[in-house]
Each structure stands twice: as C-alpha cells, then as structure tokens.
Amino acid sequence: MPHFDRVIIADWSASGTRSPARPSPDAIWIGVTDASGTTTTYHRSRALAEAALSILLTGQDRVFLGFDFPMAYPVGFAARLTGEPRAQAVWRWLADHITDAPDNRNNRFDVAAAMNRATGGPFWGRPATLDLPDLPATKTADYTAIGLPERRHVETLIPRAQPVWKLYTTGAAGSQGLMGQPLIHRLSQRADTAIWPFEPPTKRITVAEVYPSILSAAVTADPAPIKDEAQVRLLSRAIFRAAPLLQTPAIAREEGWIYGAGNAAALLAALA
C-alpha cells in the first residue's frame, strides 16, 4: 500500500483577477505536510501557484497532490463532448480551449457556453452582466431530458458537494474544475505522475481530487482567521497521517472520485 512522504493540498481558485497582495479568502492556498511538519502558502494567481507546485514536486520522495476541484464529469459527458468516454480527453479538450492569463483573466464562461452547445446544456451559473444565451445564469437544465446525471456518484456520498455543472455563486466548484483541468492535463504528461483514480497510484506522484470540507468539524474548531488556510493545513496533515484511502467503485474511472469520500471519520481521527 502506498505511503506518501509529502502531502500537498491546493485550494484552487477560478478568479478572473489577481488576488489581493495581503493573504485573503477565496484565493489559492497550498498546504504541505511532511516529516518535518506543516506549512501553508498563499498565491495570488494560478500561474504563480503552478510554478510553486512545480518546485514542490521536485525530488525523489513519494508525493500526494490534492486539488479541491472536480477532475471529471458524470458518466456520458466525456464521450458526448470529445467522442471518448475518458476524463483524459476532457482535460485535453479544456487545455486546448481555456485561456488563462498571468493576471488570472480567463474565458471560462465562454468555454462553458460552447460546451453547452455541444452537449445539450448541463452547465449553469454566470454573472448577470455576461450576455451568454447558451449559459443560463440560474439552474434551468432538465437533466433527465439532457440525458446526463446531475451529480457524480461520489457526490451522493458527500451531499454538501455542489454539482460539477454549477459555475457561479456560493459553493460552486464547477469553475475551478474548468480552470484546473488544463493543469491536470499538464501534470498527466509527466512520466512520474499518476492521476488517481483514472490510473493506479503506482508512480512517485499521485494527484487526486479532494474536498477540504470533509474536515468541517476540525476546520470550524480551528482558530485560523482564514478558513481556506485552515483547510489546506488540516487536510494535508490528516492525509499524511492516515492510512491511504484508495478504494473506489468502477464508475470512478470515468467520473473521478473525491479522496476520502465515505471515510471522513478516518481523516478526522488522524488529526487527533
């Protein structure tokens, strides 16, 4: 069973502008735990955070790298968009279509509208000021009529997790998914990296989807003034200390999986 020498947790952001110079909520935070302890860092843009991660991934130790955004979509979506029933094909498609400037300017809502036109319209949520007829501002989709599930299987185990189709307003993780999956595509090209559960975690670096709110009880009790910082600090520590939680159902090979789903008690116990 794999053992991780270093655990890195990245709380991602889909922001269209650089985050404030002063450490702030709703930006990118990275937590790292290894045998020497736990550290956290703040990053004002995705480009700066990716550069920091590149440094953290150097070396020979076994690394777990977790991102708090969906890495795949409900069964059927990948084939409808790309012709291939594989999440990897969606990562590649998004890497080809998403633009992401050094100052965080991006085209995620335009890309979501294009994906809706191609797949029947599952995505929703955008600023009211954007005129995108193919991307509704509020949920209007009839998923039965579209022929796609509203939720991935893993999200039925974590009801608080928002559907991947939701791109805007409180709790939405869909935009982070659009902005993060091009990075997953780039990581998947590394010879030393496996993207779990789409491939077995047998390489030096294991990349996985995480849900920091799985530790909500511990985060709520933590005195840190910024919740995002507490989440990456506590989750990196819990995953480092706990036994690996790498069992998934077969559907996870297409839809992805949240590391630790159904095992929150084991992660909380690791913090005790």
Would you say residue 132 lies in a domain?
Answer: yes
Both 188 and 252 in a single domain? Answer: yes
Using the 3D structure, point to which of 139, 155, 176 is the last residue of a domain: 176
Q: Per-residue pLDDT averaged across 8-29, rounded? A: 97
Instruction: Report the candidate in 95, 89, 61, 57 with the shortest Cα–Cα distance to residue 73.
Output: 89
pLDDT of 226 higher than 80: yes
pLDDT of 3 higher than 90: no
Both 199 and 64 in a single domain? Answer: yes
For residue 203, what are the domain limits?
6-70+182-271
Both 85 and 45 in a single domain? Answer: no
Would you say residue 64 lies in a domain?
Answer: yes
Both 100 and 18 in a single domain? Answer: no
Would you say residue 236 lies in a domain?
Answer: yes
Both 133 and 60 in a single domain? Answer: no
Both 93 and 159 in a single domain? Answer: yes
Cα dihedral value 80, 83, 89, 94, nearest 10: -60
- What's residue 159's pLDDT? 87
Q: What is the length of the chain?
A: 272
Task: Write down the mean pLDDT value for the chain.
Answer: 97
pLDDT of 261 higher than 90: yes
Both 188 and 171 in a single domain? Answer: no
* Beta carbons of 214 and 158 less than 8 angstroms apart: yes
Lowest model confidence (mean pLDDT) among 127-131, 156-160, 231-235:
156-160
Both 65 and 95 in a single domain? Answer: no
* Beta carbons of 7 and 64 less than 8 angstroms apart: yes
Using the 3D structure, point to which of 176, 194, 224 is the last residue of a domain: 176
Both 23 and 157 in a single domain? Answer: no
Would you say residue 123 lies in a domain?
Answer: yes
Counting beta carbons within 10 angstroms of the beta carbon of residue 160, is it exposed (0 to 12), middle (13 to 18) or buried (19 or more)?
exposed
Partners of 124 in the beta sheet?
166
pTM given for the model: 0.97
* Beta carbons of 244 and 4 less than 8 angstroms apart: yes
pLDDT of 68 higher than 70: yes
End-to-end CA distance of the chain: 23
SS3 assignment, position 236: helix
Q: Which two tokens stand for residue 200?
A: 């077995």
Both 37 and 95 in a single domain? Answer: no
* Beta carbons of 29 and 87 less than 8 angstroms apart: no
Sheet containing strand 37-43, strands side by side = 37-43, 28-34, 6-11, 63-67, 205-209, 193-195
**pLDDT over 90 for what percent of the chain?**
98
Both 56 and 187 in a single domain? Answer: yes
Would you say residue 12 lies in a domain?
Answer: yes
Residues 121 and 143: their CA atoms lie apart, in Å, by 9
Q: Which residue has the tokens 């100052």?
A: 103
Q: How many domains does the chain have?
A: 2
Cα→Cα distances 163→123, 171, 205, 254, Å? 10, 10, 28, 16
pLDDT in tens, 91-135: 999 999 999 999 999 999 999 999 999 999 999 999 999 999 999
Both 87 and 170 in a single domain? Answer: yes
Q: Which two tokens stand for residue 33?
A: 């735990």
CA angle 44, 46, 47 (to 5 degrees): 100
Confidence of residue 25 (pLDDT cuts 50, 70, 90): very high
Using the 3D structure, point to which of 176, 201, 224 is the last residue of a domain: 176
SS3 assignment, position 43: strand
Would you say residue 1 lies in a domain?
Answer: no
- What's residue 2's pLDDT? 53
- What's residue 1's pLDDT? 42
